[in-house]
Amino acid sequence: MQQFLDGHDPSLPVIIILQLCKLKKMTAANVELTQVVSQMFVPPVLSVADDLLQTPRMTIEDLIESTQDSYTVISARCPVPRYKVHLQVIDDTRSITFVMFDRVVFQVVGLTAQDLLDYMNNDPSSPPYPRELDLFVNKWMLFKAEVTDANLYRNWRGYNVKKVTSDADVISRFTSLHGIQVRFCQCQFQSLRMWFIS
């Protein structure tokens, strides 16, 4: 920088943008600092409590209708249990993980996650996961799966299931339509997660 200033026409201005540095006195006699445009300000680190109390509040409706980027704090409770079921699904080519959420699992099982939780909580001899989910084990089923950006660009190997059926007539029509010879298919129960949402 000093070499540049020494060879620069002093009648022309020089604009220097510095970031994350401290300015010391320049040695060239013909250099005059005319203005400090800005100084970096590092805000103090707030505690979680202070941060939450100082951030503007919104309701869930406000959040949904929001039209600009912002930070907000929402006060909400989480009383509703929901399904999140991971199935290891195998056809005659490979295996993969399908992820099924509340609506899809309910359509197959016929019980809400709350029903299963109540049953498990009231029966001390209940297994670690509800036996009702065995409906998925070793069954031939049709899955309508979604391929998302996460699958395409972030190497996520779980595919969300939008619809599922084990109806023999539908499966027969599907296999006939696509010329599929039914050799095998297993759906092995891998894990169950129930979570709470607002």
Q: Could you report the per-residue pLDDT of 135-186, keeping only the tens digit for each?
A: 888 888 999 999 999 999 998 889 999 999 999 999 889 989 988 876 544 4
Q: Token pair of 129, please?
A: 């996961």
Distance linking the first and last C-alpha atoms of the chain: 57
Q: How far apart are CA 84 and CA 193, in angstroms?
A: 5
State the alpha helices, DSSP H only, in 31-140: 48-54, 60-65, 102-109, 113-122
pLDDT at 191: 45
Report for 35-49, 126-140, 181-195: range of highest mean pLDDT: 126-140
Q: Which residues contact 59 (CB under 8 A, 6 or more apart)?
A: 74
Contact (Cβ atoms closer than 8 angstroms) between residue 113 and residue 102? yes
Q: For residues 182, 183, 188 and 194, what is the CA-based torsion angle, rounded to 10 degrees?
A: -20
Residue 40: Cβ within 10 Å count: 8
pLDDT at 121: 87
Strand partners, 99: 86, 160
Domain ranges across the chain = 80-197
- Report residue 15: phi and psi, to 5°: -110, 125
| pLDDT level of residue 1 (50, 70, 90 thresholds) | confident
Is pLDDT of 92 > 90? no
Contact (Cβ atoms closer than 8 angstroms) between residue 99 and residue 84? yes
Q: How far, in whole angstroms, is CA 82 from its chain's centroid?
A: 16
Which one-letter amino acid corresponds to residue 69? D
Residue 82: Cβ within 10 Å count: 18
